[in-house]
Chain A
């Protein structure tokens, strides 16, 4: 461009950020919520009993259930109670496809819980945006690449990187303080923003750039996965019935080989056959790398066969990048910190969008320019407040819809989430932003406070910590509303001198 280097980067930052800003805001916010995916799922299925028994007992109960429910199946999967309390069994149906049941770990009886997508809805929305998976993932990937470029051009634009780090002028003119806020949010968590964006692309890298893999493997993607992940091979059933070994000793040996890092997933291939194999796969929450660490045992004798792990440096780097993005490692402290960084990223995108409009509101002279600014301002409200209201609507519908109804999980999505969002967005597009910011902040406060209340009234005190977190969210919206309301009344007073005096 004709202008200097920094000016052209500022231009790129401004426009690239605007074009995909709303999608990026939604990806950031639902992704941030997904750090607590297990907790959200747990809250949304209060019928599932908490696990009080050991893994060995739970696993034996699962096998007992599968023996009667799926004797002909070629493969059983047992997900042991971990972060999600439930004992989940899945089996491959002989006719194709899979069947899933939730069990009570203590008894092995199937539990009927309300149908819901749980925390998985936010998780999938984060990178599929409720579109067909392939389309959604491409849109998310393009948005992530634009985010990456926007962050780097933002750094270049930023002249006094460290000086501005300590600059926040909340009482200066609106544009200055929004700009300072945007800068502080960006700079303070800059390593997080850069890493989360790049690693997000890495999670789906062979969807976006399959070319290297396709050329080197002649289009055989499975061969690549097999070389990277050392995928275990299991023999086909020999059609000779045999008794499956007890899982207790297998779990004990797994614990001995991996002290303090219990296996979370048990895969049994060809159960009830002489060729039965048992794979013990670790929970992915004990190491940063998102890798399938697996021990393989013989299904009839229970003898240890082999350990499968990824020991190649470059693909380990990829798995660490993948694991960093998922953020499932560590306890509440680490995930809490990542959650907080995610909120800063969300707010960075949100303040950037607001800033775009504020900078142009004064200067818009033509009719088209004024329309553009007004449209952006209203879309900002529809997204920045519409989405969190919709997320609360999703949780609220989980408690308010009848526990048994047709397509219940879809209804939570279409009525609870999108229904709420559409109403909020239409209102935000219809009325002036000065009004809608305030009104929707009050609505957000009320609906986030209503979620735990509806929970207490319908299912009792089920997850007190989660309910408390919901109230903190509601309280935050209240604080923001008070801030916005007092600033707007102050501005109104300066605009009409004499009235306030």
Chain B
């Protein structure tokens, strides 16, 4: 469900706006939490610190990332761009987690 698809269909403006807000809220809450969870693992593995230090540092930073993602979710020009950017941001943390 992207705004490109949605705008192709004929939809009342109110419903379209509601769907737009719903997508952004999902991105802010669950996308943000997903990225911060991924970052808390990825950074803990990647940071060149003692194990306990890396875990604490990664978790402290992860909350700040969640806040940034939440703000971005409502600032992005459209939801297609939003989801694309979320995937791009998640990529390096996913790499740190699984590589």
Q: Which residues of A contact B (CB under 8 A)?
A: 1, 5, 8-9, 11-12, 145, 148-149, 152-153, 156, 198, 201-202, 205-206, 208-209, 211-213, 215-217, 224, 227-228, 312-315, 317-318, 321
Contacts and interface: CB of A to CB of B under 8 A. Distances in A.
A227 B63 contact: no
A216 B97 CA distance: 11
Given A1-B74, A212-B41, A212-B43, 5 more contacts: A11-B74, A148-B63, A152-B71, A213-B44, A227-B51
A152 B70 CA distance: 11
Interface centre among B54, B56, B62 (most CB of A within 10 A): B56
- Where chain B touches its partner, the secondary structure class is helix
A20 to B, nearest CB: 12
Contacts of B63: 145, 148, 198, 201-202, 205, 208-209
B80 interface: no
A74 to B, nearest CB: 28
Contact of B40 (A153, A211, A321): A211
Nearest to B49: A314
Contact of B60 (A9, A148, A153, A205): A205
B75 A314 contact: no
24 contacts: A1-B24, A1-B74, A8-B74, A8-B75, A9-B74, A145-B63, A145-B66, A145-B70, A148-B67, A152-B67, A205-B59, A208-B63, A209-B36, A209-B63, A211-B38, A211-B41, A213-B44, A213-B59, A216-B45, A227-B52, A312-B53, A314-B54, A314-B57, A321-B60
Contacts, number: 97
Contacts of B90: none
Interface centre among B52, B59, B75 (most CB of A within 10 A): B52
Contact of A216 (B28, B54, B64): B54
B3 to A, nearest CB: 10
Nearest to A12: B74
Nearest to B42: A212
A215 B20 contact: no
Interface of B: 20, 24, 28, 36-38, 40-41, 43-45, 49-60, 62-64, 66-67, 70-71, 74-75, 77, 97
Contacts of A12: 71, 74
A212 B70 contact: no
B75 A9 contact: yes
Nearest to A321: B60
Nearest to A148: B67
Given A313-B53, A315-B52, A212 B67 contact: no
B2 to A, nearest CB: 15
B36 to A, nearest CB: 6
Nearest to A229: B52
Contact of A315 (B44, B53, B58, B70): B53
A314 B56 contact: yes
B56 A318 contact: yes
Given A216-B44, A227-B52, A313-B53, A209 B62 contact: yes
Contacts of A321: 60
Contacts of B43: 212
B37 A209 contact: yes
Nearest to A4: B75
Nearest to B58: A212
Contact of A153 (B20, B54, B71): B71
A314 B36 contact: no
B60 A317 contact: yes
B60 A312 contact: no
Given A216-B55, A318-B60, A145 B41 contact: no
A213 B74 CA distance: 30
A321 B97 CA distance: 27
Nearest to A13: B74
A343 B56 CA distance: 31
A152 B63 CA distance: 14
A315 B71 contact: no
Given A145-B63, A211-B40, A212-B59, A312 B74 contact: no
Given A215-B44, A314-B53, A315-B52, A209 B71 contact: no
A213 B40 CA distance: 8
Contacts of B59: 205-206, 209, 212-213
